Structure 1
Amino acid sequence: MEILNNLISNYYYTGAVILFIIGFHTMLYNSNLIKKLIGMNIMDTAVFLLFVSYGYVKGKRAPIIDLSAEGGGYVNPLPMALILTGIVVAVSITAFALALTIRLYDFYGTVDIDEITEIRRRQHEDE
């Protein structure tokens, strides 16, 4: 019962772990490259959620200086800044991987890794 209460009270972490497991499962058990990229993006999102949830402090304000506001502390802005950088890197890697996937499709006529492996095996046997 205590474990369930901990999971419910830390729902950001629980959600991040569930998303990561879904993405990891998608990357491991699908042979389609597009589905693998989607799984990778789901894993990225899980990591982003985890880092942002670490930086959040309940009851605190956004880190914007307001001289008329009362004291009370701020949310840590560093994880948010790091996540913005991470998002840019993730989008760049996704674009590069999609470009490679298009090239593979043009060359082999498929984006299925098992079929590409079979085509390459047959090519090596013919040589």
Structure 2
Amino acid sequence: MRPGVEGPTLVLVVAVGVLFGCGVVLLLERSLTRILLGVILLGNGVNALILMGGRAGAAPVVGVAPAGRLSDALPQAMILTAIVITFGLTAFLLAVSYRSWYLTGDDEVPDDIEDRQVRRAAERNEPATADLGGEGADADPEQVDPQLPRRLRPGDGPG
């Protein structure tokens, strides 16, 4: 570091570490609500990390202070971009979790059928086989979705 220039405080470094750690732990959960919270925490951690890379100083407006004392405007612009990206991803995950809850009644991410087959093959130490295709989408058991339970709406059913 240059003399007279302060670096990031320990509190900010610890806060970034906690945000990243909690975000990763929540991303590894099976509930879409927790995954959504993990994405939000990771987005805030990225914003704080970018903030640490900037130079502190006066407002980045020419004529307000000498050129050497102005703050760096690039991290501020990057943080605004990261906020927009995080907001878009949050809106998408919120829509996916609502749709999952509406269709199935819960927001848990189910196992994929092919993932189960790969895990069983790995437990038996079998080599992975390639899907050669040719049977069509309706005859391929990996591509057929199981029937999801339909939620009753007001007016459905007897009476």
Q: TM-score range, shorter-chain basis?
A: 0.7 to 0.9
Measured in 2, the distance between the counterparts of 1:19 and 1:89 equals 17
What TM-score does the superposition give when structure 2 sets the normalisation length?
A: 0.59
Structure 1 runs (4+) deviating above 4 angstroms are 69-72
Q: Which residue of 1 aligns with 2:58?
A: 61
Query: How many pairs were matched up?
Result: 109
Measured in 1, the distance between the counterparts of 2:87 and 2:105 equals 25
1:49 aligns with 2:45: no
Q: Which amino acid aligns with 1:82?
A: M
Q: Which residue of 1 aligns with 2:100?
A: 104
Q: State the shift of 1:87 in Å.
A: 0.6
CA root-mean-square deviation = 2.6
1:37 aligns with 2:28: no
Mapping for residues 1-127 of structure 1, pairs under 5 Å: 9-28=9-28, 30-57=29-56, 60-67=57-64, 69=65, 72-113=68-109, 116-117=110-111, 123=146
Q: Which amino acid aligns with 2:11?
A: Y
Describe the SS at the equivalent of 2:17: helix
Unaligned 5+ runs, structure 1: 1-7
Q: State the shift of 1:13 in Å.
A: 2.1
Q: State the shift of 1:14 in Å.
A: 2.3
Q: State the shift of 1:15 in Å.
A: 1.4
Per chain length, whose mean CA-contact separation is higher, i.e. which structure has more relative contact order (CA < 8 Å, sep 6+)?
A: 1
Unaligned 5+ runs, structure 2: 1-7, 117-145, 148-159
Find the structure with the greater CA-based Rg. Answer: 2
What TM-score does the superposition give when structure 1 sets the normalisation length?
A: 0.73
Q: State the shift of 1:89 in Å.
A: 1.1
Measured in 1, the distance between the counterparts of 2:67 and 2:73 equals 17
Q: Which amino acid aligns with 2:22?
A: I
Describe the SS at the equivalent of 1:82: helix
Answer 1 or 2: which has greater helix percent. Answer: 1
